[in-house]
Each structure stands twice: as C-alpha cells, then as structure tokens.
Amino acid sequence: MGKNTVQEIKRAIDALTPEQLDELYLWLERQHPHPIDARIESDLQAGGLDKAIERALDDHAKGRSRPL
C-alpha cells in the first residue's frame, strides 16, 4: 500500500459521519483485534487473571485503592 493510498484512507475516514465511524470501529475491532486485547481475553477465559482480580477487589474493599 502506497503513501497515496494511506492518505486517501485518512481523508475518507475524516469524511465519515459519527455513525459510520462507529461502524468502522466495530469492524476493525472484529477483523483486526489489538493483540493485547486478544491476550487479555484469552487469559480471562482460561482463568489466568482470577487471582489478580480477586486481589484487586479485596484491596478495594479494604480501602487500599483510589479512583483513577
């Protein structure tokens, strides 16, 4: 893909309506998930984050957290 093609894609995206942008974001998320998102999803399904989640919830319940 050449530089001109990327420029054309950028211009086309800039011309989209908010609804069209939402549709594009959903499509990109389905077709090309960010690698970290796929890894987190895999870890969640395998239970690999259960202990960390429990520890974070416990810390929060004990007042050892603060808002972001």
Say if residue 47's pLDDT is above 90: yes
Q: What's the one-letter identity of residue 3?
A: K
Q: Which CA distances in Å does 29 have to 32, 34, 35, 38, 45?
A: 6, 7, 11, 10, 18
pLDDT tens digit sequence for 5-34: 999 999 999 999 999 999 999 999 889 878
Mean pLDDT over 44-55 rounds to 93
Query: What is d(CA 27, CA 24) in angstroms, rounded to the nearest whole number?
Result: 5
Say if residue 1's pLDDT is above 80: no
pLDDT tens digit sequence for 57-68: 999 999 999 988
